[in-house]
């Protein structure tokens, strides 16, 4: 049961923010979309309902990307419901909370690395096992959601989080080279300040207003602006683009 359009996309953390915008735009472009979430089933179902109301195909699948058994089930359920996986957006991510490095807890560091790094690698592995032409797959594309923090370091807020996104950048470049002959392109987007709930969730509801003046464009970006870059990287329009990190940060 193939979607017949652009294929099947899994968006991890597709229930809110950048992931939800990506799921909606992908569905509008013809992808069948698996909208993954961790805890907020209602938010994921709302994204699926909006896609269905617009004539698209989507399912909500709960899975913690840091848990291998959950990731295996996510891919199996997505494939069963929507057809062969042709695209993955590794978007699920957490900051671990705001803390100077001298005050960060080992639990926060471990959880950030488990979700952001191990989770993305596990999902990429499952995608590769299905897409790789070396393994009988039909090829595909992966986009990892990194952060500008990987370049600017997250000083004063979350160096631990920035370091996790540095790992995502390395994974993007390495996996792109490894999979280049297997029909799979791997790229990343590195968003800057984006209007999502992640800031308030970390106790900084005013963060965007405070930092917007430091952005050359003098504003935060929208989740849709990040989704556009992600969908371009997934699309045939980017057929010779792999191992690239596209910054979506208003010049920051």
| Nearest residue (CB) to ligand NAP, 32 versus 118 | 118
Structure token digits, residue 177 = 């080279």
CA–CA distance, 131 with 8 (Å, rounded to integer): 11
Classify residue 197 by its DSSP letter.
Answer: T
Q: How far is the CB of 61 from ligand NAP (least distance, A)?
A: 10
Q: How far is the CB of 14 from ligand NAP (least distance, A)?
A: 6
Positions touching ligand NAP (CB under 6 A) are 12-13, 15-19, 36-40, 43, 64-66, 91-94, 115, 145, 147, 191, 193-194, 196-198, 201
**161 is annotated as an active-site residue:** yes
Burial string for 6-16 (b: 16+ CB within 10 Å, else e) reads: bbbbbbbbbbb
Burial string for 216-231 (b: 16+ CB within 10 Å, else e) reads: eeeebbebebbbbbbb
CA–CA distance, 165 with 134 (Å, rounded to integer): 29
The alpha helices in the chain, defined as continuous H runs, are 17-28, 41-53, 68-82, 106-112, 119-131, 149-152, 159-179, 198-201, 207-211, 223-234
| Nearest residue (CB) to ligand NAP, 7 versus 191 | 191
Q: How far is the CB of 202 from ligand NAP (least distance, A)?
A: 9
Q: How far is the CB of 193 from ligand NAP (least distance, A)?
A: 5
| Nearest residue (CB) to ligand NAP, 82 versus 145 | 145
Set 31, 37, 161, 240: catalytic member = 161
Catalytic residues: 161
């Amino acid at each position: 049961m193939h979607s017949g359009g652009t294929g099947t996309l899994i968006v991890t953390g597709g229930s809110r923010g950048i992931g939800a915008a990506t799921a909606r735009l992908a569905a509008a472009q013809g992808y069948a979309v698996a909208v993954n979430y961790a805890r907020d089933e209602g938010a994921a179902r709302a994204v699926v309902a909006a896609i269905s109301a617009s004539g698209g195909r989507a399912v909500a699948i709960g899975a913690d990307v840091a848990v291998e058994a959950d990731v295996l089930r996510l891919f199996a359920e997505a494939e069963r419901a929507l057809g062969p996986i042709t695209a993955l957006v590794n978007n699920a991510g957490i900051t671990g909370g705001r803390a100077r490095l001298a005050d960060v807890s080992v639990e926060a560091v471990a959880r950030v690395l488990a979700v952001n790094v191990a989770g993305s690698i596990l999902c990429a592995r499952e995608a590769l096992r299905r897409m790789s032409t070396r393994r009988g797959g039909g090829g595909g594309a992966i986009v990892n959601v990194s952060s500008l923090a990987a370049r600017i370091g997250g000083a004063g807020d979350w160096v631990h989080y920035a370091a996790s996104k540095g790992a995502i950048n390395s994974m993007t470049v390495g996996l792109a080279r490894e999979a280049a002959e297997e029909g799979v392109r791997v790229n990343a987007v590195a968003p800057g300040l984006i209007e999502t709930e992640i800031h308030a969730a970390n106790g900084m509801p005013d963060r965007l207003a405070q930092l917007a003046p430091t952005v050359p464009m003098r504003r935060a970006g929208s989740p849709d602006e990040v989704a556009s870059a992600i969908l371009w990287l997934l699309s045939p329009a980017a057929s010779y683009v792999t191992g690239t990190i596209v910054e979506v940060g208003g010049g920051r």
